[in-house]
Amino acid sequence: MSGTPSAALKGVADAESDDSAAGTKPAIVLDHIVKTYASEPKQGRNPRAVDDLSLTIEPGEFFTLLGPSGCGKTTTLRSIAGLETPDSGEISLAGRTVYGSSAGINVPSNKRGIGMVFQSYAIWPHMSVFENVAFPLRVRGRESRSSAAELRTAVHQALETVELDAYAKRSATQLSGGQQQRLALARAMVAQPEIMLLDEPLSNLDAKLRDTMRVELKRLQAESDFTAVYVTHDQTEALAMSTRIAVMQAGVIQQIGAPREIYEHPANAFVAGFIGRTNFVEAEVLQSPQPGVSTHLVQSALGVPLPARSATPTPAGTAVTLCVRPENIRLTAPAEQTTAHSMTGRVLSAQFLGELTEYTVCVNDTALLVRAEADVRFSRESTVTVAFAADATWLLPR
Ligand SMILES: Nc1ncnc2c1ncn2[C@@H]1O[C@H](COP(=O)(O)OP(=O)(O)OP(=O)(O)O)[C@@H](O)[C@H]1O
Ligand SMILES: [Mg+2]
Q: How many residues are listed for the chain in this entry?
A: 398
Q: Is the CB of 78 under 6 A from ligand 1?
A: no
For 136, phi and psi rounded to 5 degrees?
-60, -30
Instruction: Give me ligand 2 centre to Cα 222, in Å.
Output: 25
Q: What pLDDT does residue 4 have?
A: 39
Q: Is the CB of 339 under 6 A from ligand 1?
A: no
Pocket test for ligand 1, best of 37, 79, 84 (most atoms within 8 A of CB): 37
Angle at 374 between CA 368 and CA 379, to 5 degrees: 60
Instruction: Give me ligand 1 centre to Cα 79, in Å.
Output: 12
Residues 6+ apart with CB under 8 A from 11: 144, 146
Q: What pLDDT does residue 8 have?
A: 36
Q: What residues in the chain have per-residue pLDDT under 50?
A: 1-23
The amino acid that residue 103 corresponds to is A
Q: Residue of the nearest CA to atom 16 in ligand 1? A: 72
Q: Residue of the nearest CA to atom 27 in ligand 1? A: 69
Phi/psi class of residue 192: alpha, beta or left (left: φ > 0; alpha: ψ in -120 to 50)? left
Domain segments of the chain as ranges = 7-269, 277-331+342-397
- Nearest ligand, CA 247: 1
Q: What pLDDT does residue 305 have?
A: 93
Secondary structure class of 141 (helix, strand, coil): helix
Give the architecture-level CATH label for domain 277-331+342-397.
Beta Barrel (2.40)
Q: What pLDDT does residue 42 have?
A: 56
Q: What pLDDT does residue 110 have?
A: 87
**What is 28-46 written as a DSSP string?**
EEEEEEEEE-TT---TTS-
Pairing of strands 366-373, 356-363: antiparallel
Residues 6+ apart with CB under 8 A from 38: none
* Class of the CATH-defined domain 7-269: alpha beta
Q: What pLDDT does residue 108 have?
A: 95
Exposure string of 275-291, with b = 16+ CB inside 10 Å and e = fewer, is bbebbebebebeebbee
Q: What pLDDT does residue 24 have?
A: 79
The amino acid that residue 68 corresponds to is P
